[in-house]
Amino acid sequence: MLLLILSSVLTALSMPGFLSGFIIWFALVPFFRSLEGKGPFFGALYGFLYFYFFSAINLFWVLPVLTENLPKVFGKFPGWVGFFVFLLMLLIEALPFAAFGFLYGLMEKIVKRNHFKEILFTASLYTIFDFVRGIGEMGFTGGTLSDALYKDSGILQLAALIGPYGLTFLIVAVNCWFYIILRKSTRPFEKIAFNVLVITFVSYLISLYLPLAKSSDKTIVAIQTNVSQDTKYKESPSYLFGQIEPFLVETKDSVVVLPEDVFSFDLRNSTVAAELIGLCKENDLDILIGAISADSKTYNSVFLVNENGFVDRYSKVKLFPFVETLPYQKIFGVFSFLRGLSYFEPGEEFRPLSIRDYPPLGVQICFESYFSEPSRELVRNGAQALLVCTNDGWFIFDVALKQHFAKSVMRAVETRRQVIQVSNAGITGMIDPYGRILKTANPREFEKITFELMPTKGMTPYSKIGDVIIWFSLGLVVLLLLFPGERTITTRRRIWQ
């Protein structure tokens, strides 16, 4: 059990915002050691506990949102209820890894007869159940092992070919290889340390030879608003507009991008709509601004506003479960108290926005950048650069901000597109098509920052084919389960007296 907990801690320490990403290359070794000889049922328990403890550490920043921020802003439930919701969230996150532990325990003796088979089976099994966490109405990808590599821009380039789950497969395979070294070799710790250094050095070497992305003469002006949630939901439209107006007045002939949910109401019907359009006309601005859109249905949208008015919008397709939409209502209807101001309808498509003489820009809203699908679909539909408009003002710990920004880094490499993230509290920043973080604003400050646009065309293999690694892993696991290979036949010697 101590080995299991050690592995959970090491995996958490490798995540963005904690200690260092290189830890991920050996973080799972104690976990695999703890599973030795446990069989399927204790294996299921150990698999569940490993991911439960890991998630509790990695996602600790969610706890104050549920126990303090949401109760304070919306007043729909007491803080102690939020604590139990947090425990339930961890349970849901960890359940797939009970299945991992069960199948690993079932097949352990068989796959360990061949080191190559052991590595492939273990990496495939982990990758499948990590992928399962991210699908469906309650899908979430926080804590994907590949997140640990967001600063290793060398090895990160593989994401353009195999995506984040391909990198997860690679990470687990290396950990399994080190676990075999631990079992079989003399002086295993020296060998593991040497190989980790080799991997880190190779990644660094690759990063030195990455090409420079070409900038255009176009720029994006991002405004990090840093408005507290309490202020946003209680102050008047005029007050909120007054916070951003000075930045807009001093900006000329530009495309301006603001965060998600700058206004928690339909801006088109507000007293500040005419002022915003007037500023666009006077200063020759095109403004992308997050607000609620309420027609026959309610959406979480980013509006495109210029001198002609509210000319276009992108509405969020992947909604955040429980807060923006209620998943599996018959099962989880009791949790409707977690709702924000209202439930939203999902947008209809991942459609880039066209802005005067700018290249097509693909907008994602908040939670959508946690997933590969929105950015891939936007690129398929013609986006030459990606924008992430988000409201991370709910989070009091910077770990949350770094973990969200790390997802934008992954989206950039997967699609070979520049990603500009514009956040309320931060991190607002620019990532080039190779995943290098080039410029950021200071978190939790009201700041305006200008980014050079780097439009690119073409599609990466991953943009075209997606998560093929999952099908490979699934096929391999099913094949080994159905055809495990020759079983060892034990014979008992009888001694006749």
Mean pLDDT, the chain cut into blocks of 10 residues (497 residues total): 96 97 97 96 97 97 92 84 93 96 96 94 98 92 96 96 98 97 91 94 95 92 91 87 92 95 90 94 96 92 96 95 87 83 90 94 95 96 97 93 97 98 94 97 94 96 96 95 66 40
Catalytic sites, residue numbers:
260, 316, 366
What is the per-residue pLDDT for 486? Answer: 56
What is the per-residue pLDDT for 496? Answer: 38
What is the per-residue pLDDT for 491? Answer: 38
- Three-state secondary structure string covering the chain: CHHHHHHHHHHHHCCCCCCCHHHHHCCCHHHHHHCCCCHHHHHHHHHHHHHHHHHHHHCCCHHHHHHHHHHHHHCCCCHHHHHHHHHHHHHHHHHHHHHHHHHHHHHHHHHCCCHHHHHHHHHHHHHHHHHHCCCCCCCCCCCCHHHHHCCCCCHHHHHHHHHHHHHHHHHHHHHHHHHHHHHHCCCHHHHHHHHHHHHHHHHHHHHHCCCCCCCCCCEEEEEECCCCHHHHHHCCHHHHHHHHHHHHHCCCCEEEECCCCCEEEEHHHCCCHHHHHHHHHHHCEEEEEEEEEECCCEEEEEEEEECCEEEEEEECCCCCECCCECCCHHHHHHHHHHCCCCCCCCCCCCCCECCCCCCCEEEEEHHHHHCHHHHHHHHHCCCCEEEEEECCCCCCCHHHHHHHHHHHHHHHHHHCCCEEEEECCCCCEEECCCCCEEEECCCCCCEEEEEECCCCCCCCHHHHHCCHHHHHHHHHHHHHHHCCCCCCCCCCCCCCC
What is the per-residue pLDDT for 332? Answer: 83
